[in-house]
Amino acid sequence: MQATVDLDAYFERIQWGGGTDASYETLAGVHDAHVSHVPFENIDVLLGRPPRLDLASLQDKLVRNRRGGYCFEHVTLFAAVLEQLGFHPVRHSARVTLFRPRAESPRTHMFLTLPLGEHRFVLDPGFGRLAPRAPLPLTEGVQTRVGEDMHEMLRDGHWWVLRAQSGDQAFDAWSSTLEQDNPVDFEMANHFTATHPSSPFVANLMLRAFTPGGRVTLMNRDLTIWRGSQPHASQLADRAALRAVLAEYFGFDLPEIGTLRVPSIPEWG
């Protein structure tokens, strides 16, 4: 018997009370609600607990325990939700180009495309602080703006490139040839991302949460709280400060933070 998502619990988690038909309005609304209420975080990786991608584990973590996760967790759960609503998402991998050139980047990002009517959209709820909050038309150069952020899909030969702009900074975030991938491909990529010494996720603390007035981002000790377009930057003093930030802005408390080791923060052990 194929595992399913408890849609009532999921909709309560993302505070979605709108339609559930397979329409663009439902797609855009559920996508925005998911990104807005399920944060991005890689804490389990730094605790030595590689994330599990089966639906039961994802629902326990992201829905019932109100945690966040990284791309494989977000997108695996979101794809299952869409399928239960009658959509037909296609799973893809991408080479992230924020940290290294494309030729040196493995396929360690997961996203979706989705055909709907005469159009095809890119859905990427798990791309950290640069995640688009709306479906992106898979049409070159069409800009999608939400608040201070802009996203568009561009072509580079046989590659599709996600360009993200936040404020006055623009990034070529990832590249993909849009091959369809299978769940086992993401199990392998997840294992690499959560355990390999060259993965940025095993060395750095990375978090993002949206708030009613903006967003909160954390890279190692560097905390930025955005209120509208105004950033307020500070540094976390210790693990206790991190635990307080999680409780205030990310919606969960995690006592294990007291033993968290982050290689990029040597004084944290």
- Residue 1 scores a pLDDT above 70: no
Is residue 156 packed enough to be buried (19+ CB in 10 Å), middle (13-18) or exposed (0-12)?
exposed
Give the C-alpha separation, 77 to 55, whole Å.
7
pLDDT at 269 over 80: no
Type of residue numbered 41? E
- What is the reported pLDDT for 257? 95
Catalytic residue chosen out of the listed positions 71, 92, 149, 151: 71
Q: In the chain, where does the domain assigned CATH 3.30.2140.20 lie?
A: 7-195
172 assigned to active site: no
Spatial distance between the Cα atoms of 165 and 8, rounded to a whole number of angstroms? 34
Per DSSP (E only), the strands in 29-125 are 40-41, 90-96, 107-116, 119-123
Residue type, 223: L
What is the pLDDT at residue 149?
Answer: 86
pLDDT at 169 > cutoff 90: no
Q: Is-catalytic flag, 191? A: no
Fold of 7-195: Arylamine N-acetyltransferase fold (3.30.2140)
Which residue spans of the chain are classified as CATH 3.30.2140.10? 200-268
Residue 129 has pLDDT above 90, yes or no: no
Q: Are strands 214-219 and 222-227 parallel, antiparallel or unpaired?
A: antiparallel
Reported as a pLDDT band with limits 50, 70 and 90, residue 126 is: very high
Q: Helix (H, G, I), strand (E, B), or coil: what is residue 146?
A: strand
44 an active-site residue? no
Q: Above 70 in pLDDT, residue 93?
A: yes
pLDDT tens for 218-258 read 999 999 998 877 889 999 999 999 999 999 999 999 999 99
Q: Measured between alpha carbons, how far is 79 from 95 in angstroms, rounded to an integer?
A: 20
- 34, 74, 109, 151: which is the annotated catalytic residue? 109
- Regarding predicted confidence, which is higher, 133 or 3? 133
Pick the CATH number of 200-268 from 3.30.2140.10, 3.40.1160.10, 3.40.50.2300, 3.90.180.10: 3.30.2140.10
Task: Report pLDDT digits (tens) over 183-200.
Answer: 999 999 999 999 999 999
Put residue 252 in one of left, alpha, beta given phi > 0 → left and psi -120 to 50 → alpha.
Answer: beta
CB 197 within 8 A of CB 208: no
The three-class DSSP label of residue 103 is helix
Candidates 31, 44, 74, 124; catalytic one: 124
